[in-house]
Structure 1
Amino acid sequence: MPAFPALTHVAITVSDLAASTAWYEKLFDAEPVLDEDEESGAFHHTVFALGGGTLFGLHTHTSSGPDTAGFDERNVGLDHIAFACTQSELEEWVSRLDKAGIAHSDIKHAHYGSGISFRDPDNIALEFFAPPAG
């Protein structure tokens, strides 16, 4: 049996594709590699290429769903998305978030690693996470 595979992509549904695309362009310091209607016409996706070959997609759907109240990690489903970094890179990410005008937490340290939490325009919880040094 092969080892369990790595994640290839993450896709999130957003309420305002243009606003979210601009916000994520600032966060990633990159433009999308794909911006198109899906063949079935059920959704539009804008996709960014991240390090390690992972894709990060923003989706809008042609039919509205039942929940328009916005993201809440206490609901069943996604809790948060964490981007990998090293302990030494955390301060650099604080500076980059500050420069982009993105509100964030202080660096939080725990026995299992350290992280910086922040949220996108739809309140989706995001994090830069570093495993413990050593």
Structure 2
Amino acid sequence: MPNFPALTHVAITVSDLPASTAWYGKLFDAEPVLDEDEESGDFHHTVFALDGGTLFGLHTHASGDPAPGGFSETNVGLDHIAFACTQSELEDWVSRLDKAGIAHSGIKHAHYGSGISFRDPDNIALEFFAPPAG
């Protein structure tokens, strides 16, 4: 059996694609590498390329508006998305989020690692996460 593979991409559904594209562009300090209707016509995707080869996609669906109530990590499904960093990079991410005007939790420490929690325009939970030093 081969080793279990790494994630190649994450795709989230957003309510306002232009606003989310601008917000994630500021967060990633990058422009999308793809912005098109998927060939079936069922959805539009805007995709960012992250370091390490992971793609991060924003989707809107032709079938209509997102489900009412919006995102909640307490619903079955996605809890949050965590971006990898090191302990020494956490302060830099706090500064970058502050400069971008993105509200966040500050650095929180636990025995399994440290993180900074924040939310996108659709309230989707995001995090910068660093394993414990050592």
Question: What TM-score comes out, normalization by structure 1 length?
Answer: 0.98
Calculate the TM-score normalised by the size of structure 2: 0.98
Query: Residue 83 of structure 2 contacts residue 129 of structure 2 at CA under 8 Å; is this kept in 1?
Result: yes
Whether 2:86 is the aligned partner of 1:86: answer yes
Moved over 6 A (4+): none
- RMSD of Structure 2 on Structure 1 (CA): 0.8
Partner residue, 2:111: 111
The CA distance in 2 between the partners of 1:31 and 1:70, in whole Å, is: 26
Equivalent position SS for 1:99: helix
Distance 1:66 1:115, change over 3 A: closer
Identity over the aligned pairs, expressed in percent? 89
The gaps in structure 1 that reach 5 residues or longer are none
Match of 2:124 in 1: 124
Q: How does 1:1-134 map to 2 (within 5 A)?
A: 1-64=1-64, 67-134=67-134
Contact in 1 for aligned 2:15/2:66 (Cα 8 Å): no
Residue type of the alignment partner of 2:84: A
- Give structure 2 stretches of 5+ with no counterpart: none
